[in-house]
């Protein structure tokens, strides 16, 4: 497994997906009414929550079991068992959503939800299946397949949104097309995984299925709680505010997928760290993790700073001026991205210490619910977003503390604190400087807002790149060194 090659391919894939995702959001935000966009956001929220609740987190088991089994027969048994559970949970989730669609409509103050029963029936299985694809392909060193499949999928979704908007096709028909595209991709996932792993077993190994469930359920509960933790604010806003206001909040709270490099790095180093820990090579595992965090932070901290400084311009460009009410929420959620530089439960997951992840997640959910109510009363519309930021940061620290205890490391050794502090201070100073530069030029050229923002942003990037490029290259070379992957 080559770190540089796989990370580059995954990053290209995610950047392509990012561009298409933004384009789709722009089209829906501009060509659909706030009510229609709000309905779309609520349907996606409902499906994602229900999948987290009823799938028992089985996708979290993929890296663990594929790394655990060296024997092809056992690995085949796992793949077959996984997709049996995947299909079963997806179908059950869809049926339950269809049956309870009217009650969901009442809770979310949206009487249109029951009319989308077919979407609620199919989409859970599709989303659950598609989310597992990259894990199987990356483990089999087929990163190019991820690039091809995800790019094709996003392009088709984009064309569907564009044509339906330009031709004036009604919103319900668009959602049906959207669902059909997702279902088609899911079918291809079954076919591709079957061919790549060359599955020959025709019998179901119930022992493997039991092992998957035993491993996944605690972690799945943690994932569910983590998902609820991320969505508590949207659930509250959806129930307390009008559909149009929820549409604004949903877009503002949408984390722009700028963490393409960090998530790609996590996907690539996760199997390596897992294997190193299983072989008791803890120091090497932690070195890989720390270097990956260093590299991620160099990119992420800069992008987060840009999002905060140019928040109004970004919202106007992406979603139009009717969403400017959500600028403050957008900035708060940009800060949440600080905690996307890595997967903080990576080591605990690799060591199968899922109960600690579960415990911190339960604490986070309870805290978030309480803080949502308190901060909503204190700060109003932005209160739930503030609660999400506070809880997310605290959970990350709790998981790091548990990790340090599990591997007998000091807390200060578990994370590259000094380098993160340095890169954070650098970005803070540059943000202040370029914010005032932006304000100055906006006053001189008020009619050239977009052009001025692009020029300032470009100058900012050049200055930042010149400062950090040497350090970033060093981290990249270390991670790409074959000495870290001699176990593969």
Weakest-pLDDT range from 155-159, 194-198, 472-476, 478-482: 478-482
Q: Using the predicted structure, report yes or no on whether residue 431 has a pLDDT greater than 90.
A: yes
- Residue of 306, 433, 426, 315 whose CA lies nearest to 441: 433
Percent of the chain with pLDDT over 70: 88
Tell me which DSSP letter residue 74 carries. Answer: H
Residue range 254-272: average pLDDT? 75
Assess whether pLDDT exceeds 60 at residue 484.
no
Residues 6+ apart with CB under 8 A from 222: 57, 345, 354, 357, 358, 360, 361
- Give pLDDT, residue 488: 40
Q: Which residues contact 412 (CB under 8 A, 6 or more apart)?
A: none
Residues 390 and 398 sit within 8 Å (Cβ to Cβ)? no
| 72 band by pLDDT with thresholds 50, 70 and 90 | low
What Rg, from alpha-carbon coordinates, does the chain have? 22
- pLDDT bucket at 328, cuts 50 / 70 / 90: very high
Q: Where are the beta strands (DSSP E) in 287-417?
A: none
> In the predicted model, is pLDDT for residue 302 greater than 90?
yes
What proportions of the chain, in percent to the nearest 5, are helix, strand and coil?
Answer: 85, 0, 15
Q: What is the pTM of this model?
A: 0.69
Residue 68's pLDDT is 65
Contact 139, 61 (CB under 8 A): no
Confidence of residue 482 (pLDDT cuts 50, 70, 90): very low
Considering only the C-alpha atoms of the chain, give the largest distance between any 2 of them, rounded to a whole number of Å.
73
Q: How confident is the model at residue 109 (pLDDT cuts 50, 70, 90)?
A: confident
pLDDT value at residue 215: 75
Q: Which of 45-49, 356-360, 459-463 has the lowest mean pLDDT?
A: 356-360
Checking if the pLDDT of 166 tops 80, the result is yes
Measured CA to CA, the distance from residue 8 to residue 4 in angstroms comes to 6
> Mean per-residue pLDDT for 282-305?
87
In this prediction, residue 422 carries a pLDDT of 92
What local confidence, expressed as pLDDT, does residue 395 receive? Answer: 84
Residue 306: per-residue pLDDT: 92
Give me the mean pLDDT over the 284-306 stretch: 87
Q: How far apart are CA 136 and CA 195, in angstroms?
A: 12
Where do the structural domains in the chain lie, given as residue ranges? 32-218
Q: Which helix (H) or strand (E) holds 476?
A: helix 449-480
Q: Determine the average pLDDT of the residues in 75-81.
A: 75
429 or 287, greater pLDDT: 429
- Whether residue 13 is predicted with pLDDT greater than 80 in this model: the reply is no
């Amino acid at each position: 497994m080559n770190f540089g090659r796989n990370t580059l391919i995954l990053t290209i894939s995610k950047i392509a997906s990012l561009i298409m995702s933004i384009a789709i959001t722009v089209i829906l935000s501009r060509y659909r009414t706030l009510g229609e966009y709000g309905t779309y956001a609520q349907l996606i929220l409902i499906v994602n929550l229900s999948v987290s609740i009823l799938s028992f987190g089985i996708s979290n088991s993929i890296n663990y079991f594929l790394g655990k089994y060296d024997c092809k027969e056992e690995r085949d048994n796992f793949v077959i068992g996984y997709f049996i559970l995947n299909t079963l949970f997806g179908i059950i989730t869809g049926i339950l959503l269809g049956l309870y669609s009217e009650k969901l409509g009442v809770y979310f103050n949206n009487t249109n939800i029951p009319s989308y029963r077919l979407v609620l029936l199919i989409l859970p299985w599709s989303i659950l299946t598609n989310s597992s694809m990259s894990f199987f392909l990356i483990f089999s060193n087929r990163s190019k397949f991820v690039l091809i499949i995800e790019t094709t999928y996003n392009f088709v979704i984009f064309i569907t949104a564009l044509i339906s908007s330009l031709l004036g096709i009604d919103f319900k028909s668009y959602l049906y097309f959207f669902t059909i595209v997702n279902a088609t991709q899911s079918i291809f996932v079954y076919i591709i995984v079957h061919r790549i792993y060359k599955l020959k077993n025709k019998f179901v190994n119930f022992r493997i299925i039991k092992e998957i469930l035993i491993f996944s359920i605690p972690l799945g509960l943690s994932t569910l709680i983590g998902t609820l933790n991320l969505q508590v604010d949207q659930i509250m806003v959806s129930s307390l505010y009008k559909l149009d206001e929820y549409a604004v909040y949903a877009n503002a709270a949408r984390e722009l997928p700028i963490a393409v490099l960090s998530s790609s790095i996590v996907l690539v180093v996760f199997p390596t760290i897992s294997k190193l820990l299983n072989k008791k090579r803890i120091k090497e595992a932690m070195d890989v993790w720390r270097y990956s965090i260093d590299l991620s932070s160099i990119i992420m901290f800069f992008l987060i700073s840009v999002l905060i400084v140019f928040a109004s311009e970004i919202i106007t460009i992406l979603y139009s001026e009717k969403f400017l009410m959500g600028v403050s929420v957008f900035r708060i959620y940009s800060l949440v991205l600080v905690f996307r530089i890595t997967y903080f439960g990576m080591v605990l997951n690799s060591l199968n210490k899922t109960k600690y992840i579960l415990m911190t997640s339960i604490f986070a959910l309870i805290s978030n619910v309480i803080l949502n109510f308190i901060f909503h009363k204190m700060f109003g519309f932005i209160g739930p977003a503030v609660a999400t930021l506070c809880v997310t940061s605290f959970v990350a620290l709790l998981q790091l503390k548990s990790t340090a205890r599990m591997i007998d490391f000091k807390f200060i050794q578990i994370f590259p604190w000094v380098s993160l502090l340095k890169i954070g201070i650098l970005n803070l100073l540059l943000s202040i400087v370029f914010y005032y530069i932006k304000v100055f030029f906006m006053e001189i050229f008020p009619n050239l807002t977009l052009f001025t923002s692009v020029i300032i942003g470009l100058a900012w990037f050049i200055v930042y790149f010149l400062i950090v490029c040497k350090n970033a290259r060093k981290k990249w070379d270390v991670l790409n060194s074959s000495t870290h992957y001699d176990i593969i």
